Structure 1
Amino acid sequence: MTSLLQRLSAERNRRFVGRGWELELFLDAIASRELPFHILHVFGPGGVGKTTLMQQFLRFCEQSKISTIYVEGRNIEAAPESFVSTLRSLMGLNESDSLLDVLAQKQERNVILIDTYEAITQLDEWLREVFLPHLSVNTLIVIAGRNPPSSGWCSDPGWQALMHTLPLRNLTPEESQIYLTTRDIPTTQHQAILNFTHGHPLALSLVAEVFAQGKEISFQAEPAPNVVKTLLERFIKEVPTPAHRMALEACAVIRLTTEAALDQILTVHQNSLAISAHYLGEIVDVYDLFEWLRGLSFIESGQLGLFPHDLAREVLIADLRWRNSEFYNELHHRARQYYTKRLGQTQGQEKHRVLLDYIFLHRDNSAIRSCFTWGEQSSLLTDSLRETDKTALLGMVAQYEGEESAKIADHWLKRQPQNVIVFRDLHSKPAGFAIMVALHTATVEDLSADPGALASWQYLQTHAPLRPSEGATIFRFWMARDTYQAVSPTQSLIFTNFVQYFQNTPGLAYTFLPCAQADSWTAMLNYFDLTRVSETDFTVGGKHYGVYGHDWRIVSPAAWKEILARKEVTTVEESGDNTPVGEPLLVLSQPEFVEAVQNALRNFSCPDALQNNPLIHSRSLHEALSSLVKEQVATKANVNENPLDTLGKRVNALQNLVKQAAEYLQSSPRDEKLYRAVYRTYLNPAPTQEQAAELLDLPFSTYRRHLKAGMTRVADILWQREIS
C-alpha cells in the first residue's frame, strides 16, 4: 500500500458486512446498458449505516472506472449556489465552465452520491424541479438521508417511474455476528450484544470500540452510560423544549403512541414527581408534540400509532433510567393508569390491543421481552369457534402433538366449544387457537379421556379443593399454525387472551398452563406468578408436557396486578419477589372459614387470641389492608408506616373487618335484631349472656337463637367477600 488513504479504504472494506441485496441492486444498475432508475433514495435512522453503504457504492464506482461525485450534505450550505459551487470544485471545473452543460453532455455512466440529505432538505424542491432534470440520461443520483422521499417525489408520476426507494434496516443476527467476529469480540458476549443493539450498525461499532479499549462492559444489566450517550446524541441532535423531551421519553416507554395516550400520560397532576407546569403549559400543546414526534426519522408510523426504532427505544429508556429514574417510574405509573382505564372502556379486538399495551410496560425486563412480539398484530382477528374450523385445528394438533392428542382435542371441541378461541389471518383462516377447559364443569367421563385435565383435577382435589361457586381452568391446547408454541405474533396474542381470561372470569380459583417445552417458559411464567406444578405434568403420545399453575385465591387478580406493577421498573435480577404485600394467604374451606369467624367473634376483645386466628392470613384481610396502604399513599398520611408490618396492626384490621360485617346487619330491619345480639355478646359485651338477654329484653332462648343466626349471617357476609 502506497498511502494512508489506501490503508483506510482497505480497513473499511474489511469491516463492511451485510447489505448484499443493496450492493447487488446498485451494481446491476451501474452495469446496465440503460439505467433501470435514475434516483436511488436510501433512507434510515441515524447510525444505521447509510454513509458506510455510500462509501461502498463509491468504491465500486472507482473499481469500475465510473465518474463519481460524492457530496456530503452536512459540509455545504442548504443553498443552490453552495451546492453548485461544491460540485464545480469536486469536478475541477473552471469558472467559465457551465456545470449543467458539462453534466448534461456526459455520454458515459456518471454517478452523483448525495449523503446526509436531511441537512439540505431546503434544496429538495430545487433539486427535483430545477437541477436534476437537466442531467444526462446516463446519470444515476443516489440520495441518502434519514427520511423517506418527500411528497413532491411521490406525487409526481414522472419521478415515480424514475425513482427506486431503498429503506435501510439493521443487520441480521448472522451479519451482526460476522461483524463482531471481525472485531474480535468474544463469542460469549455476542448474544447479549445482539439483544442490546438489535443489529444496529453504529451500536455494534460503539460496543466493539469499548471492547477494543479494553474496558469491561456488561450487557446483561444497564448499558454503559457513555455508549448510551453517544447513541442518543446520534439519534437526537436537539430537542426543542423539556416538553418535547418528555413526549419522546413517553413514546419510548409505551408500545404505541397516540395523541390521546400522549395527552393522558403527559397531563400534569398535582402530585406528580418533579414536573413543572410550565413544561406543558400554553407553549406547546399535545397536538404539536405528537406532530413533532411523527416527523422524527427514527419514529415510525403504524396503523394504530407511532413507535420508535428498536434501538432508539432502548437508548432513550436506558438514558432515562440512568438519568432520572423517578420520572421513568412516573411515566410507567401514568401509562398503567391510562391502560387500566381503557381496559374498562373497550371490548373485543380493541381490548386485546390495550392489554398488549399494558403488558408492554414490562418489556424492559428481559424475562418478558423475548417472550412476546410487540408489533401491532393488526392482521390477526380473535374469534370464536366455527364448525368449519375443526379440521384445521385438529390438523395443527396432529402435526405438533400427534394423533392421540388430536383425539383429545376433538373431545373438548365437542364438549366445550364455547371455551375455544380462534385467531384468524387476513383470509379468515385459523392462524392459531386455544382451548380453555373448565375443569369444574367437566364430567368424570370427560376427565378420564384426557390425562392432562385429569392430572390437574386430581391435584386440586388433593392440594387445593374448590369451594362453592369456584372454578378452575386448564389452558389445555394452545398453538400457532406455523410456529406451534414458539414466540410469534399468534403466541403473543394467545398469552394476551389468557391474561384477559384471568381478569374477566368470575369465581376463577385456579388456572393451569401446560407447555411442550416447559423449561423455556420458566422465567417468563414465574415473572407472571405462574409456578411449576410438577405433580400435574403429563405425557400423551410419547410427548411430555410441564404444567404451571396459579391459585387466584392466594394471589387475587387485584394483588397480582400490584405485584406486576412493582416489577415494571425493575431488572430481571430484581424482580424475583412474587409475594403480595404481607404474608402468604390461606385458602380456607367454607366450614373452616365459618369456624374462624366464630372464633374471631368469641375472642373479639382478646387481641392475643386473635393473633392465631386463620383470618389473619385471609384474602379479605389482605385486601382491606392493601386498600389502607393505597389510602395512606394517596393522602400522604403515615406513608412510612405499613399496616402489614406488625401483627398488632393486622389484629386491629381483623377486628374492624368483623365489626363492619356485623354492622352491615343493621341495614336490614329483619337482621337488626341479630346485630343487637352480636353487639351485646361480642362487640360491646355484657358480663354474661344472661345479662345480655336482659339488656335486650329477650327470653334467653330467643336471645340464643338471635345470636346463633347473627353469627351465621356475619360469617356468610365475610365468606361472600372472601370468595367474590
Structure 2
Amino acid sequence: MAGRLLDHLSDLRHRLFVGRTAELELLQTALLADVRPFNILYVYGPSGIGKTALLHEFARLCRQLDVAARWLDARAIEPTPAAFTKALRRAAGLPPDGPLGDALATPGGRVVVFLDAYELLQPLEPWLRDEFLSDAPGDLLLIIASRQPPAPHWQTDADWHTLMRVLPLRNLTLQEAQEYLIRRGVPPDEHPAVLSFTHGHPLALSLVADLFDQRPGFHFEPDSAFDVVRVLLQQFLQQAPGPAHRAALEACALVRSLNEALLGAMLDLPRTDELFTWLRSLSFIEPAPGGLCPHELARDILVADMRWRNPDWYAELHRRARGYYIARLRQPTGPAQQQTLLDYIYLHRYSPAVRPFFEWRTGSLRADSMHPADRPALIAMVEAHEGPESARLAEYWLARQPHGVVVLRDASGEPVAFLAKVALHELTPGEAEHDPAVAAACRYLEMHAPLRPGEAATLFRFWLARDTYQSVSAAQSLLFVNMVRHYLMTSHLAFTFIPCADPDFWAPVLGYVDFQRLPEADFSIGGRDYGVYGHDWRVMPPLAWLTVLDEREISGDAHAMPSQPPTPILVLSQQDFSEAVQHALRDFTNVIRLRSNPLVQSRLVLERAGLQSEAHERVAALRCLIEEAVAKLGQIPRLQRWQQVLETAYLHPVEPQEQAAERLGLPFSTYRRYLKAGVAWIAEHLWLQELGETAS
C-alpha cells in the first residue's frame, strides 16, 4: 500500500509539473552518454522557485532509464562526514554503518545522488569536494539543489569547473505559468490577473491555485492580493477551525523553528502535542533542526497578515517568544545558548535595519576557545585583510589576553573566523599605548565615561572571517551573536567598543541596536582608518536594551522607544554615590525630598523598582534598600551600636539626637562618631550592590 501511495504521489507531481524542458533534456543527454559529460549538476534558485519539484522529475527520469538513484535531504542531515555517510547508506537500503563506497556500488555501474537543500551542508563542502567526490566512481552524477549559487572555488578551479554544470532556476515563463494554471483547473478568464500577481513564481502560483480549488466561483483581484492571502490562510485552516490552531500557525511563522516547549510558552498552554502534530501535517510546514518551520513565502504571508490584522496579538506572541528565549539564556553556556541567541535575533528579521546585515543559516559553525595551535592561522587572517602592522598587534593581544578570544570552527575543526576581546579594565600600565585602537578607547573612557572601581569595559579589537573579512556572512553573524552573549553574560560590564573597517556600511544596524558612533575613538593602523561604535551599559543596561530593540521590531521604527521608556540610569562616581546615600539617610522620612535624590536613578534602585517604574515606586525601593542595609548592619555584633544610632537618628527619629544619645547611654561625641561610621558603612554596602557585587 505504501508503494502504491508513493507511486500515486509521484504521478500527481508529474501531471502538474510544467516547464524546465532544457534542464530535463540536459540530464537525459548526460544519463544516455557513454561517458559522463559532467559529474555535478548544480541547481540553484530562491525559496519556492521549484528546485525540489525539478529534482523529483529528475528522479523520475532516472527510473525510466533504469539508473540507480539515491535521494538525500540536507534538512535531515547534520553537516558532518559521518552523518552524510549514514544518510547515503540508508538511501541505498544499506545498514547505516559501513564503508561509503557500498552506497555507490550498483549492478549497472552507474548511480545518481540527489542532494536537496544543499545550502544547509555548506560547512561540509570541503569534505564533499576533496574526499567524497575525489574518491567516488568516475561515472557518479551528483545533482545538487541549493538556494545559493555554487561557491567561487567550484568555478575558479579549472578541474572542478569542467566537471560541473550550473543551472540557475528562474520563474516560469508566461506560457509555462499559464499551462500550470490550466492543469490546476483555474478558469481561463482568471489567468491574466493571477499571472500578473505571481509573475510566474511557482509557489505563489500553487498557493493561488489552491485557493481556486477550495473556493468554487472565487474571483481573483490583484488589487486585493492581501485579502486573497488572508482568505488563503483561512482555507488552510478549514479542517481545524479552532482559534488555537490558527494561533499555533502564527507562532510557527514568527520564530526560527518551533518545538512543543516553545509552542506551549507562546500559546500559554500546558500541552500542545495535538497542535504540534497538526502543524506537521500541513503541506507548507517543513521539518527543520530544532522543530518545524513554514516555507519562507508562507512564513512571510502569515506574519504580514498577522501584523496587519491583529498587531496586538503579534506583539504579544513576540513578547512570549522573547521571554522564553531570555529564560533559556540564563541556562549554562554552550552550543545551545548560541542557538538560543540566534533564535532571539531572528525575531528581528523583518526590521529593515537588521535583515540586510544578518545570515540566519550558520550551518555547523561552532564557537570555541582559542587553542595554542590556532594562533598562526588567526594572525594570518588579520595580515591577509588588514596588513602586517595589524597582524603584529593581533599577535600581541592573542598572547596577552587569550581568554578573550572566540574562534569559529567549521565541521573539520579548522578556524574560519575569530573575535578577540581586549578587557580594557585589565590592562597593565603601558599596554594601552602599544596599540592605537586600545589607546583611543581608553582615552574616550577617561574623557566621557570613566570606569568606576569594579566595572569592566571591552574593546572587540579584532572580528573577522577568513574568507569574507567583515562582510555580511554566516561567520560574521555568529561573531555578532557572541558579542551579544558578552553583553548579557559579563558581570559589571560598563562599556563596549566595536571598531569597523567600513563604519558607514554598519551604521544602520549598529544604530538600530543603540550603538553610538564615537569619532573620538577612531584610529588608524597601517595607513587604514577604522571607525568605532560604542554603548554605555550603565546608561542602558542589557534588559532595558532588549526592551528597546523589541519595541523597534514590533513598531517597525528603527529609532522607536517603548511607550513608557525606561528611566535613564544615572552613572555616579563613588564619591557622588556616598554623598547621595548621606542625603537619603537624612531625608529618609521626607518622601518629597527623596524624589530628587540621585539614587532614585541609580542602577541599584531601578533594578529593584523596575526600569519603567513610577517615581513613588523608586522612592519606595530606595527606602527599602536603606532599611535592608541598616538591618544587615545590626546582624554584626560588634556594629550593633552603629545600627541603633542610625535607627534613632534617621529611620525612626522621635527626639533630638542629644536625647537619643543619652537614652542609648552614649556620650554625644561617641554617638556622632558612631553615626558617621554607620553612614560610611551603609554607603559602602550599597555601593557594592550598585556595582553588582555581593556585599558582606
TM-score surpassing 0.5? Answer: yes
Residues 1:499 and 2:497 aligned together? no
| Structure 1 partner of 2:23 | 25
1:341 pairs, out of 321, 327, 331, with 327
> Aligned equivalents of 2:494 and 2:373: distance in 1?
33
Deviation at 1:555, TM superposition (A): 1.7
SS in 2 for 1:366: coil
Equivalence for 1:658 = 626
1:519 partnered with 2:517: no
- Is 1:438 the counterpart of 2:436? The answer is no
- 610-619 vs 532-541, which moves further: 610-619
Shift of 1:394: 1.2
For residues 266 and 320 of structure 1, the distance between their equivalents in structure 2, rounded to whole angstroms, comes to 15
How far apart are 1:391 and its partner, in Å?
1.6
Match in the other structure for 1:332: 318
Q: Report the AA paired with residue 657 of structure 2.
A: Q
CA distance in 2, matches of 1:315, 1:303: 22
Name the structure 1 match of 2:462: 477
- Report deviation, 1:450: 0.8
CA contact (8 A) 1:34 1:138 kept: no
Cα distance in 2 for partners of 1:374, 1:526 equals 20
Structure 1 pair 136–260 and aligned structure 2 pair: CA distance change class (3 A): closer
Q: Is the 8 A contact 2:548 2:560 kept in 1?
A: no
Listed as ranges, the gaps of 5+ residues in structure 2 are: 1-17, 37-42, 68-74, 77-87, 94-105, 118-144, 150-167, 175-196, 209-219
Q: Distance in 2 between matches of 1:571 and 1:136?
A: 52
Partner deviation per Cα, 1:70-114 (whole Å, 9 max, x = no partner): xxxxxxxxxxxxxxxxxxxxxxxxxxxxxxxxxxxxxxxxxx999
| CA positional deviation for 1:549 | 1.1
Paired position in structure 2 for 1:623? 607
When residues 213 and 386 of structure 1 are mapped into structure 2, their CA distance, relative to the original with a 3 A threshold, is: same
TM-score of the superposition, structure 2-length normalised?
0.70
Seen in structure 2, the aligned counterparts of structure 1 residues 304 and 437 have a Cα distance that, compared at 3 Å, is same
Instruction: Tell me the percent identity.
Output: 43
Relative distance call for 1:579 and 1:720 in structure 2 (3 A) is farther
Cα deviations by residue, 1:283-331 (Å, 9 ceiling, x for unpaired): xx63343343334333332333322222221111111222223332232
Distance apart, 1:206 and its partner CA? 11
Q: What letter corresponds to residue 393 of structure 1 in structure 2?
A: L
Q: Judge conservation of contact 1:44–1:297 (CA < 8 Å) in 2.
A: no
The correspondence for 1:552, drawn from 537, 549, 557, is 537
Q: Structure 1 stretches of 5 or more lacking a match?
A: 1-18, 38-42, 58-111, 115-127, 140-146, 181-195, 218-223, 270-284, 630-641
- The offset of 1:354, in angstroms, is 1.2
Counting matched residue pairs gives: 561
What displacement does 1:541 show?
1.4
Which of the numbers 658, 661, 672 marks the counterpart of 1:690?
658
Aligned-residue offset at 1:227: 6.0
Secondary structure (helix, strand or coil) at the match of 1:587 reads coil
Distance in 1 between residues matched to 2:199 and 2:327, nearest whole Å: 33
Q: Which amino acid aligns with 2:331?
A: Q
Change in 2 beyond 3 A, CA 1:162/1:553: closer
| 1:123 paired residue number | none
Aligned residue in 1 for 2:280:
294
TM-superposed deviation, 1:416: 0.8
Identify the match of residue 357 of structure 1 among 343, 346, 354: 343
What aligned pairs does 1:89-128 form with structure 2 within 5 A after superposition? none
Which residue identity lines up with residue 624 of structure 1 in the other structure?
A: R
Whole-Å Cα distance in 2 between the matches of residues 340 and 113 of structure 1? Answer: 45
Q: What amino acid maps onto 1:665 in structure 2?
A: L
CA distance, structure 2, for counterparts of residue 422 and residue 33 of structure 1? 44
Does structure 2 retain, via aligned residues, the 8 Å contact 1:585–1:619? yes
The 1:391/1:177 distance shift into structure 2, 3 A limit, reads: farther
Q: Distance in 1 between matches of 2:617 and 2:276?
A: 49
Matched AA of 2:318: H
Q: Distance in 2 between matches of 1:564 and 1:396?
A: 33
Q: Does 1:722 align with 2:687?
A: no
Q: CA deviation at 1:498?
A: 0.9
Change (3 A) 1:113 1:346: closer
AA aligned to 1:338 is Y
Aligned to 1:707, the other structure's residue is in SS state helix
Distance 1:205 1:171 in 2: 23
In 2, are the aligned partners of 1:532 and 1:549 still within 8 Å (CA)?
Answer: yes
Task: Give SS of 2:439's match.
Answer: helix
Question: Contact 1:562–1:580 (CA<8 Å) still a contact in 2?
Answer: no
C-alpha displacement at 1:570, in angstroms?
A: 2.4
Tell me, yes or no, if the aligned pair for 1:560 and 1:580 is still in contact at 8 Å.
no
Q: Sort the Cα spacing of 1:246 and 1:205 in 2 relative to 1 into closer, same or farther, 3 A.
A: closer
Q: Could you tell me which of 384, 388, 397 is aligned with 1:399?
A: 384
Question: Does structure 1 retain, via aligned residues, the 8 Å contact 2:257–2:289?
Answer: no
Taking structure 1 as reference, are residues 584 and 213 closer, same or farther at Cα in structure 2, changes over 3 Å only? same
Q: Distance in 1 between matches of 2:148 and 2:228?
A: 19
Asked if 1 retains the 8 angstrom alpha-carbon contact of 2:551 and 2:561, the reply is no
Work out whether residues 473 and 510 of structure 1, in 8 Å CA contact, stay in contact via their aligned partners in 2.
yes
**What is the deviation of 1:32?**
7.6
Call closer, same or farther: CA 1:304–1:700 in 2, change over 3 Å: same
2:660 corresponds to 1:674? no
Q: Secondary structure at the match of 2:571?
A: coil
CA contact (8 A) 1:517 1:546 kept: yes
Question: Post-superposition shift, 1:566?
Answer: 3.5
| 2: CA distance, partners of 1:389 / 1:663 | 53
Residues 352 and 496, structure 1, Cα contact 8 Å, conserved in 2: yes
Q: Deviations over 1:210-239 (max 9, x none)?
A: xx9996x9xxxxxx7336436747977755
Q: Provide the C-alpha distance between the structure 2 equivalents of 1:307 and 1:371, rounded to a whole number of angstroms.
A: 22
Cα distance in 2 for partners of 1:316, 1:397 equals 43
In structure 2, distance between residues paired with 1:266 and 1:607 = 42
CA RMSD of aligned residues (A): 4.6
Q: Which residue of 1 aligns with 2:258?
A: 257
Q: Look up the match of 2:247.
A: 246
Q: Give, in angstroms, the shift of residue 579 of structure 1.
A: 10
Larger Rg: 1
Give yes or no for contact 1:404–1:540 (8 Å, CA) kept in 2: yes
Of residues 367, 370, 373 in structure 2, which corresponds to 1:385?
370
- Equivalent residue for 1:643, pick from 614, 625, 629: 614
Q: 1:654 to 1:581 in 2, by over 3 A?
A: farther
Secondary structure of residue in 2 paired with 1:306:
strand
